[in-house]
Amino acid sequence: MGRLNPTLRQLRVFVSVVESQGFTRAAEALHLSQPAVSIQVKQLEATAGMPLFDQIGKKIFLTEAGEVLYDCARNLFAELEDAEERINALKGVKAGRLRIAVATTAGYFATRMLAEFARLYPEIVIRLDVTNRASLLAQLDANSQDMVIMGEPPPGRDLLATAFMENPLVVVAAADHPWAGRKRIPLSELQAQRFVVREPGSGTRAAVQRFLDAEGVGVQFAMEMSSNEAIKQAVQAGLGLGICSLHTLELELETRRLVVLDVHGFPVMRYWYLVQRAGKRLSPVGALFRDFVLNSERRVDAGD
């Protein structure tokens, strides 16, 4: 049995074909001819001793061997990037890449936070993915990000989560709602209202449901939305009340498109967490960003 001994060039071309989902787009991304890309992949298949792709019609799919090699190649290049950053750190160079993903709701403040970090360290390249909670957890499982910013992760996962900022959830209504300006609205009165809420699996939805269950209050979830923007637009249109993070409402409150209602028990206080794989060795850039977040005045003590 021969040893698997690919070149870095072969692996880079292979990864580009996978991530570009085709030889033609990979060739364009790498500034190579399509035959040159095909040759590199064929040479890699020869050293692997197995096909790496199946072609069905005009689409290509990874074989089982291809999936194994892609996973290894992706981890290898991440390790090489990490090594480059560590060597630069030894040289005193504040450069490298920060790979970070944030919850959709957190994107409202995380982009400003990253802009501040980028101003301090202009040589650092930031790769940001703004996505939903399920995707964040999947990326943590795959170890494809330095860290993520999200609400409290579920228990039972091998993760290190540190709270750094409060995340108040508030009840919002259209500016012309009859309750606008009303004080001390009893929680029980929410039962007669229609609510526009996030989809099941959302951290906001789960936190609200836990709070209402603890208070013995049932409300009518009339519409489910996959984004906070959709919720805000539906509430503005008068389709019901909404429950959102206060951090998502800056523009709407300034322009009086929405109002926060004074409901007993609200805001429901959650926290934003900086999350990484437990035991993960952060790159110097990752450690620099973690210190930037946790040592800023945003940090909070979430308790036990």
Dihedral angle of Cα 11, 16, 22, 25, to the nearest 10 degrees:
-140
> Per-residue confidence at 94, pLDDT binned at 50, 70, 90?
low
Output the six-digit token pair for 229. 């923007």
> Per-residue confidence at 304, pLDDT binned at 50, 70, 90?
very low
Residue 76 has pLDDT above 80, yes or no: yes
Of 73-87, 173-187, 285-299, where does the model show the most confidence? 173-187
Residue 23: half-sphere exposure toward Cβ, Cα within 13 Å: 16
Mean pLDDT of 141-150: 91
- Collapse the DSSP code of 118 into the 3-class scheme (helix H, G, I; strand E, B; otherwise coil) and give the result: helix
Q: Per this entry, what is the length of the chain?
A: 304
Contacts of residues 251-255 at CB distance under 8 Å and 24 or more positions apart, as own/partner, are 252/172
122 CB burial (10 A radius; 0-12, 13-18, 19+) = exposed
Residue 55: per-residue pLDDT: 83
Residue 276 has pLDDT above 90, yes or no: yes
Instruction: Specify the fold of 85-164+271-294.
Output: D-Maltodextrin-Binding Protein; domain 2 (3.40.190)
Instruction: Specify the fold of 167-269.
Output: D-Maltodextrin-Binding Protein; domain 2 (3.40.190)
Parallel, antiparallel, or unpaired: how do β-strands 194-198 and 241-245 relate?
parallel
Residue 90: per-residue pLDDT: 61
> 14-28, 157-171, 198-212: lowest mean pLDDT where?
198-212
Residue 303: per-residue pLDDT: 39
The amino acid sitting at 65 is A
Q: Distance between CA 205 and CA 224 in Å, rounded?
A: 10
Confidence (pTM): 0.66
Parallel, antiparallel, or unpaired: how do β-strands 124-131 and 147-150 relate?
unpaired
Residue 301: per-residue pLDDT: 44
Mean pLDDT of 147-156: 90
> 71-75, 87-91, 147-151, 238-242: lowest mean pLDDT where?
87-91
Contact, 70 vs 6, CB < 8 A? Answer: no
* Region for 184 from its dihedrals, namely left if φ exceeds 0, alpha if ψ lies in -120 to 50, beta otherwise: left
More confident position, 54 or 93: 54
What secondary structure letter does DSSP report for 59?
E
Output the six-digit token pair for 99. 């790979």
**What are the two backbone dihedrals, phi and then psi, of residue 299, each rounded to the nearest 5 degrees?**
-60, 145
Residue 282: per-residue pLDDT: 86
Distance of CA 248 to the CA centre of its chain: 16
Contacts of residues 22-27 at CB distance under 8 Å and 24 or more positions apart, as own/partner, are 22/60, 23/60
Contact, 258 vs 219, CB < 8 A? Answer: no
Percent of all residues in the chain with a pLDDT value above 90, rounded to a whole number: 52
Mean pLDDT, all residues of the chain: 88
> Per-residue confidence at 87, pLDDT binned at 50, 70, 90?
confident
Residue 201: per-residue pLDDT: 78
CATH 1.10.10.10 domain range(s) in the chain: 8-73
Q: Distance between CA 167 and CA 298 in Å, rounded?
A: 11
Dihedral angle of Cα 269, 273, 277, 279, to the nearest 10 degrees:
-100
CATH 3.40.190.10 domain range(s) in the chain: 85-164+271-294, 167-269
> Per-residue confidence at 2, pLDDT binned at 50, 70, 90?
low
> Per-residue confidence at 227, pLDDT binned at 50, 70, 90?
confident
Contact, 207 vs 183, CB < 8 A? Answer: no
Contact, 143 vs 280, CB < 8 A? Answer: yes
Residue 92 has pLDDT above 70, yes or no: no
Residue 302 has pLDDT above 50, yes or no: no
64-75 pLDDT per residue, tens: 999 999 988 988
Q: Distance between CA 11 and CA 27 in Å, rounded?
A: 14
Q: In CATH terms, is domain 8-73 a member of 1.10.10.10?
A: yes
Q: Distance between CA 216 and CA 30 in Å, rounded?
A: 59
Residue 56 has pLDDT above 50, yes or no: yes
Helices 34-48 & 8-20 angle (0-180, nearest 10): 110
